[in-house]
Amino acid sequence: MLLPLMANAMGIQVLIDGKTVTFVDVPQSAWFATHVRTAAEAGIVNGYKDSRGMLTGMYGPGNDITIGEALKIAVEGAGYDEDLYASKIQSGFQHWASPYVSVAKGEGFLVIDARTRLDKAATRAEVSAIFTSAFGVNLEGVSSDTRYTDVESSTEFAASIEALSRDAVVSGDTDIEGRATGTFRPSQNINRAEVAKIVMQARAAYGTPGEGREPNEEQGGTENEENMVTYTDDGFSPTILRVKKGDMVTFKNMSTTGLWVASNPHPTHTALPNFDANRTLINGEIYTYTFTQIGSWSYHNHLNSRFQGTIVVE
C-alpha cells in the first residue's frame, strides 16, 4: 500500500466535473504541473479513460500527442461548442474526435482534412497550425526567416510557428542552462505536457474566440440551381454551404480587395487541387467550380487566408 499512497501524495489533484482526480504521473514539482491543473479545471483536458469511460488518473505528460488530441484541446481551449458544430456538419470520421473535426471543417482549420490520420502523432508544426486556426490568429504578413535556424519560409506551417512564437505562446529549444538555442524542430513530435502549456498560453494571449460562434450554414439549391457564395470585406457568406454532388458553386467578389479562391491548406491547396481559381478576382468578378467528390471541402482566400469557408458535398 505504501507505493500507491506515495504516488497519490506526489501527484497533483484536480477538480473535473465536480470530482477530485489525482494525476499520479504529474509530480507537483514538475514544470508542467500548473498548466495541466489549470487546463483540467477549465474543462480542456481530463487525462486518459479506461474502456468503460472512467478516468484512470493518468495524464501521460511525456506521451506524444496525437492530431485528434491536439485538435480537441485547441477547440476546447478556444471555447467552441463542438456538439453544435457536429449537429450541422458531418465530420466524415468514425472517431471519438469527430465533433472536433466538425469544428475544424466549419472554421477551415489548417491540417485537418478528409485525409487526416487523427491517431497519428502530431508534429510541433502541425500543433502550431491547429492552434492558430482555433484561436483565429492572423497570419497575413508574418515573416519566418529570422527567429529559428530550422524554420524557413518554405517550412510547412512556418507562419503559424512564427505567430505563436511572437505572441509567447510557443518557444524554441533551450540548453540545460535555459538559454535559447535558436531551433524549433518543426517536424518533431510534441508531448502532452507541452500542449497543456500551449493551450493556457494561447488563452492568455487570445482569449476564447470560439465562444458564441456557430456555423453560418445555408442549404444549397436543387440540382439545376446555382449556389452562390459572396465575398465581402468581412469574408465569405455563407461560410458553410451544403450542395449535392455534381452541383456548381459560384464565388463572387463583392469586396474592395482581391479574391483568390483556393482549397485548403494554405498555401499549397492540396486537399482538392483543382478547386483553385489560380488568379485574383477583382470586385464583381466570379469563379465557378463543380463539386464532384462527396465530402467537406474547406477553402480560403489565398490573398488573405484568415477568411475561410466550407462546401459540404452530399
Delineate the domains of the chain, giving CATH numbers in brackets.
Answer: 1-60 (no CATH), 67-206 (no CATH), 217-313 (2.60.40.420)
Residue 257: count of CB within 10 angstroms of its CB: 15
Could you give the 3-state DSSP secondary structure of residue 13? strand
Task: Return the pLDDT at 4.
Answer: 44
Could you tell me if 246 and 225 are in contact, meaning their C-beta atoms sit under 8 angstroms apart? no
User: What is the SS3 assignment for 63?
Assistant: coil
Question: Which of 16-39 are b and which e, b meaning 16 or more Cβ less than 10 Å from the residue's Cβ?
Answer: eeeeebbbbbbeeebebbebbbbb
Confidence at residue 7, expressed as pLDDT on a 0 to 100 scale: 42
Of 196, 200, 246, nearest to 220 by C-alpha is 246
Low-confidence ranges of the chain (pLDDT < 50): 1-8, 219-225
Distance CA 39, CA 236 (A): 33
For residue 263, the SS3 value is strand
Q: Is this model's pTM higher than 0.85 or not?
A: no
The reported pLDDT for the residue numbered 67 is 96
**What are the φ/ψ torsions at residue 97 (nearest 5 degrees)?**
-90, 10
Beta strands across the sheet bearing 295-301: 217-219, 240-243, 304-313, 295-301, 261-263
